[in-house]
Structure 1
């Protein structure tokens, strides 16, 4: 202790005792985990006091004290909000939002509280998640309503908080005894809160805040990519339409169009596709898509631009599937058709005059999407006139033609790679199979038959061409031209099946029958193992021949011995292959159809068929074929019975265990009656002689009920579909005199049938 003197105001001296400097005493204020937990647990009481203080009318002028109290709340809740205090927290948020209208100072505190909402809510017990589920749901809903606050920072914080719900970010300073809620729990309650719908509706308030609108789009992208429920909520608020309306607004960042297209993609994938296309099928949306697509096509130069362009084209294609979409009225369809024919056809249109393709993967993808769009639009007959004006068929036939390799040592013009060319060629053939039957005049003017027959000839040539077979249309064609032949033959089958005499005559005049016969026999003689594609090509060729020769004796005569050899060869096919699963059953049916259409009706060809024992082969097939094939085979036999030489072959046939033709027919008759439920007594006689061929489903049909004109009666269906009428007709062809000899020795077992036939 030392003494010192201090002079007072009166001039006297006063003694002052000054203590020596001692070692400072530091009070230990560190809190253990129990104390920290206790502090957190006392927050609900303090929050209620803060709410009372904020709502107290007498404290309305104490703005600084209120903000100080709010900052204390922010400081003490840095680790996240407890589930049981969420109701109070969001009430505080609501009060701050209301006060910020007149006092902007509250905005910063509001942002700080929203920033804490990025952290997972905390629970004391596992049961808290169930107990406070409704509170959490309402809190998320109120967070969306805070978007009405006009402050950009507040709105950004809300978006960041929503996005953070889908992340697993937690506080760096955890509290013992408290646990963050699970990610699945937060996501589920956010979906149930309807927050996605509120965000869509809030976009109407963001006209003057483009940065916030971009943040909202990013949030909606996150919501739509993660949940079907969110997609439904967005669509409920007409989100697809609203987003499409504003996708072309000025955007320095260049992200609005990308975010908008991604949201539309998510809605199409996870939401109701029909609802999305319905919302986009209006003139404003179509014009917005048109503007965006043309901008990306004509001005884009980055890989990102090309991908975005293709995404917009896919969305447009899906809209085109809606018959009510004004795609044609908006003139967008006409411009798209122009791009379909580019660069195969030259045009002076300003849109393509300076357009150059890079022939990269994205340009290739766009070309394929445009070809697919043609198929989709062809369902609308009003689009056919645009196809005609745009010369779509001519452009497709250009793609179909095989590309000649440039002379050795010379580089040709920049074009698609061989792999890309192959895929476009196959897709063009598939597109023509849909479009060409609808545009016969254009097909004939462009000499479509000639182009396809030349392509068939190219397919049979042996050269260095090696098919890649990577694409969907190129399946099974690797190392060969089988894929091209498959789609070429399929296209020809589509054209001849129309029954247009001009097309069929043109094919006949160009030697299509002989060319197809050579091709099918070459394929049959090939050492390669049969597969699904090979069998499909053979069956389609036979169907083409049937369509060309049907009802034309002259063409049947030119079908000749080569055609008969072909049909006889396939009729010898083993019945064990019927159930191979590769398509042998279809091939044998097309062969029988070929006999019916190309041989029956021309005595010259029929005689060759009889000489080749074709009747025996048909009877063998009738005996061994499945039930659903017997009708066609027996019908063909019946038609051949008009030739007098056929009877001797029918009577001479013998099956297993010396089975005769009449015996086979009797077996089929019995099987047919058993299947139809024809009623007989114990002695095999027909129960009702007045209705000898009545079956069970004819009895069930109410004769008093009138049937529509397009629905045949049960009796007519019975005659046309079952075998009994054909069997009876065959016996009639044999004649009554032959029947006595045929049934001799079998009269007892077949008495009923004998009486019926005679």
Structure 2
């Protein structure tokens, strides 16, 4: 014991004179080693006061911070003190002082120190988290303060002695690598009875999770969301516990794995804790931040509701929530809402929107739907949707016009999901009448250009119209015939046509929302009129005029990206459902030039649009007037309808990889019309699937073209080229070739099992191959005739060319003779002499015109 006294006195002696560059505020490594040796010396256990004195001296000398190269010894000293603090509380103050210095940036002597001592720093910060095991409140609070300062504070203390602090991003990186955030989460279980320490620890976790994905993932690995949620509703008069817990959960959602957070919060205990906190704030919270925190908790519960299997029904949350969903629209004697007062301020407005949103989330659960029925949620939604509900009730506080408008639109959006699931309640509330009244109210407005408020209400009346039509679409799609009949009885067909007419001829309103409204209206008309001749008659000529204007749409707009492709498809579908099958509307369509518009679309539309267009033309060919218009039609480059269909057939076979030679002749008589896609489908399908040949007929554009030619006829089609006739010969035997494909499939499947039918199948296949061979022979003869015609045309052309050259030669000789006679008198005398002799021999006197020779003008050259 006596031997240790001089050793202790040596520790507090002034620095040796041999040091050339003294550092008055930084402890030397040798001094720290001797301090550590003193603390570990078993003979110095009775010198507790002197050890504490030495430690205080170390604290005093390191007020600027610890050197990076001294950290290992510093934390060894901290661990020794931590081991003794339980038996000797005097070390607690020293521990807190040393940890307080750790909150300062570590000092580096060289720029490379940060990289050299990275592992040491990581280990030291990790050890700092392990000190939370010591059950001293002041020590735990100091650890939390140190971690916060180490992670957040950026104090640059450059000095003349060459020491500089570690960078903030370096410290943050070291803290993330240390895993101290995970350690702090696990230490939450040690602070059940220490509320101030728990609040300080939650503040630390809040700061660590604010912007770091690594810290959030480490915290989630320690089940942070679940542990924090367990205790967030515990008693705390200040409300800080609930606030900080909520903030940490939000940070974990934003920076960590959302799926992991919701999975941890989906337990019954967590949901019960969140429910209690939400109800407490809803019923007793009147301050601004309490209402905001209430809304945050409701969002968390909505996210949990999206997790499959979350026990929201079992915990009673939905049952307690239903009265608040219908408040203040419905009167209720439920004690939860009897004394509830809304301020109708922005926070209450946000809560109302969140409640409407959670209806959509919970609607996937049948038990929740039953609770909604008992709580009359549908009636509350209809009260929000009614056009008259936008007026502020006299004598009562209510939502403002802006708030009412947005709530109305969100209620419509909620109805589009909920109404198909609760059709009985929808009909009981006379929702069809309410929606048609709202639709009429929107049409009475002179303009759709008004700007609404909030997310849902962008666009004013156009937004109301959009969501109203969307609700009608959702309920009509539910295959409930009494509901559809009710809509038709109330004049929905005429109103929908009025909406479509409202958008026609208004290019200023042409945007994505307007196209969506028109598409939905056309879909509604298709569903309402499909299979009912009486409703098609109600659609009538007014509807036909609207469809003709939509079919006049420029095909180039299909690629605009706004949604004209959907609009065009909806128009074709509406024509199919509302016009085809009713003679009066069909005649009106044909008389209005509808057939010409369909053929123009067929000529200009992309490949994916061809199948529905040809299907519509096929249905329309049942009308003789339509067939006559189709045969008289002439499109671009004077192409007739048969020529257009034959061109589409060839292009389709090219796309599908059908085997043809360069002239379009059948290349494989055993597989005359089999495509590459059909081979892939047949090889991948099982034996229990539908036949590939039959499925190809139902999905193939070529089948529609074949049926159209069956209506037009295969003979007497004028204006077809040899190439068209080659293609037409294949189309003529299309059905025979399909029979051949089916027989081949039967042969491949049934022939080994039924040997007795082998001869019959072979004979059928031979007949089919003979038919394909005859078609190929016909095609070759057509091509041969075309070749002969081309040869004859070539000979005729060459004959004309030779005749033209001969005439040019005669004209040139005549001109040369004339020039010679006029320039040389002897030539002229000889010419006259010869002519006189010729005339004498023929007993005919030459005329004056003959002596004059050819005209002086040079003959015009003959143009080929």
Q: How does 1:631-642 map to 2 (within 5 A)?
A: 631-642=611-622
**Secondary structure of the structure 1 residue equivalent to 2:210:** helix
Kindly provide the CA deviation profile for residues 157-187 of structure 1, in whole angstroms up to 9, marking residues without a partner as x. 1000000012334387946211100001110
Mapped to 1, the partners of 2:16 and 2:383 lie a distance apart of: 83
Instruction: Kindly indicate whether residue 646 of structure 2 is the aligned counterpart of residue 671 of structure 1.
Output: no
Tell me the CA shift for residue 747 of structure 1.
4.6
Aligned to 2:426: 443
Kindly provide the CA deviation profile for residues 238-262 of structure 1, in whole angstroms up to 9, marking residues without a partner as x. 1111101111222233200000000
Tell me the CA shift for residue 755 of structure 1.
4.6
Instruction: Kindly indicate whether residue 454 of structure 2 is the aligned counterpart of residue 474 of structure 1.
Output: no
Aligned to 2:800: none
Tell me the CA shift for residue 557 of structure 1.
1.3
Instruction: Evaluate the alpha carbon distance shift between residue 151 and residue 698 of structure 1 in structure 2; reply closer, same or farther with a 3 A threshold.
Output: same
Q: Match for 1:723 among 693, 701, 712?
A: 701
TM-score scaled to structure 2, two decimals?
0.80
Aligned to 2:771: none
Aligned to 1:279: 264
Aligned to 1:363: 348
Q: How does 1:144-183 map to 2 (within 5 A)?
A: 144-170=129-155, 174=159, 176-183=161-168
Whether the aligned pair in 1 keeps the contact of 2:129 and 2:183 (CA below 8 Å) is yes
Aligned to 1:689: 669
Aligned to 1:331: 316
Count of residues in correspondence between the two structures: 719
Q: How does 1:200-219 map to 2 (within 5 A)?
A: 200-219=185-204
Aligned to 1:15: none
Aligned to 1:353: 338
Instruction: Kindly indicate whether residue 575 of structure 2 is the aligned counterpart of residue 595 of structure 1.
Output: yes
Instruction: Kindly indicate whether residue 28 of structure 2 is the aligned counterpart of residue 43 of structure 1.
Output: yes
82-91 or 174-183: bigger deviation: 174-183
Structure 2, unaligned runs of 5 or more: 1-13, 734-864
Q: How does 1:380-399 map to 2 (within 5 A)?
A: 380-399=365-384
Instruction: Kindly indicate whether residue 411 of structure 2 is the aligned counterpart of residue 431 of structure 1.
Output: no
Mapped to 2, the partners of 1:704 and 1:279 lie a distance apart of: 43
Whether the aligned pair in 1 keeps the contact of 2:156 and 2:164 (CA below 8 Å) is no
Instruction: Evaluate the alpha carbon distance shift between residue 704 and residue 481 of structure 1 in structure 2; reply closer, same or farther with a 3 A threshold.
Output: closer
Structure 1, unaligned runs of 5 or more: 1-28
Whether the aligned pair in 2 keeps the contact of 1:37 and 1:177 (CA below 8 Å) is no
Instruction: Evaluate the alpha carbon distance shift between residue 357 and residue 694 of structure 1 in structure 2; reply closer, same or farther with a 3 A threshold.
Output: same
Mapped to 1, the partners of 2:154 and 2:662 lie a distance apart of: 85
Instruction: Kindly indicate whether residue 508 of structure 2 is the aligned counterpart of residue 533 of structure 1.
Output: no
Instruction: Kindly indicate whether residue 397 of structure 2 is the aligned counterpart of residue 417 of structure 1.
Output: no
Mapped to 2, the partners of 1:220 and 1:519 lie a distance apart of: 56
Q: Match for 1:228 among 210, 213, 236?
A: 213
Tell me the CA shift for residue 355 of structure 1.
0.4
Whether the aligned pair in 1 keeps the contact of 2:469 and 2:521 (CA below 8 Å) is yes
Tell me the CA shift for residue 597 of structure 1.
0.4
Q: How does 1:269-348 map to 2 (within 5 A)?
A: 269-348=254-333
RMSD: 2.3
Tell me the CA shift for residue 571 of structure 1.
1.1
Instruction: Evaluate the alpha carbon distance shift between residue 466 and residue 602 of structure 1 in structure 2; reply closer, same or farther with a 3 A threshold.
Output: closer
Q: How does 1:612-623 map to 2 (within 5 A)?
A: 612-623=592-603
Aligned to 1:264: 249
Which protein has greater RCO, CA pairs closer than 8 Å, 6+ apart?
Answer: 1
Whether the aligned pair in 1 keeps the contact of 2:456 and 2:463 (CA below 8 Å) is yes
Higher-Rg structure is 2
Instruction: Evaluate the alpha carbon distance shift between residue 492 and residue 362 of structure 1 in structure 2; reply closer, same or farther with a 3 A threshold.
Output: same
**Secondary structure of the structure 2 residue equivalent to 1:499:** coil
Mapped to 2, the partners of 1:262 and 1:88 lie a distance apart of: 37
Mapped to 1, the partners of 2:684 and 2:187 lie a distance apart of: 64
Q: Match for 1:746 among 721, 724, 734?
A: 721
Instruction: Evaluate the alpha carbon distance shift between residue 634 and residue 705 of structure 1 in structure 2; reply closer, same or farther with a 3 A threshold.
Output: closer
Aligned to 1:21: none
Tell me the CA shift for residue 465 of structure 1.
11
**Secondary structure of the structure 1 residue equivalent to 2:202:** helix
Mapped to 1, the partners of 2:155 and 2:683 lie a distance apart of: 78
Instruction: Kindly indicate whether residue 553 of structure 2 is the aligned counterpart of residue 578 of structure 1.
Output: no
Instruction: Kindly indicate whether residue 239 of structure 2 is the aligned counterpart of residue 254 of structure 1.
Output: yes
Whether the aligned pair in 2 keeps the contact of 1:87 and 1:139 (CA below 8 Å) is yes
Mapped to 1, the partners of 2:255 and 2:32 lie a distance apart of: 41
Instruction: Kindly indicate whether residue 488 of structure 2 is the aligned counterpart of residue 508 of structure 1.
Output: yes
Whether the aligned pair in 2 keeps the contact of 1:74 and 1:112 (CA below 8 Å) is yes
Whether the aligned pair in 2 keeps the contact of 1:197 and 1:237 (CA below 8 Å) is yes
Tell me the CA shift for residue 751 of structure 1.
2.1
Aligned to 2:781: none
Aligned to 1:245: 230
Aligned to 1:10: none
Mapped to 2, the partners of 1:40 and 1:131 lie a distance apart of: 23
Instruction: Kindly indicate whether residue 497 of structure 2 is the aligned counterpart of residue 517 of structure 1.
Output: yes
Whether the aligned pair in 2 keeps the contact of 1:651 and 1:661 (CA below 8 Å) is yes
Mapped to 2, the partners of 1:405 and 1:194 lie a distance apart of: 55
Tell me the CA shift for residue 110 of structure 1.
0.8
Aligned to 1:651: 631
Whether the aligned pair in 2 keeps the contact of 1:747 and 1:754 (CA below 8 Å) is no
Q: Match for 2:472 among 488, 492, 502?
A: 492
Tell me the CA shift for residue 471 of structure 1.
1.9
Whether the aligned pair in 1 keeps the contact of 2:643 and 2:720 (CA below 8 Å) is no
Q: Match for 1:545 among 515, 525, 534?
A: 525
Instruction: Kindly indicate whether residue 609 of structure 2 is the aligned counterpart of residue 629 of structure 1.
Output: yes
Instruction: Evaluate the alpha carbon distance shift between residue 624 and residue 682 of structure 1 in structure 2; reply closer, same or farther with a 3 A threshold.
Output: closer
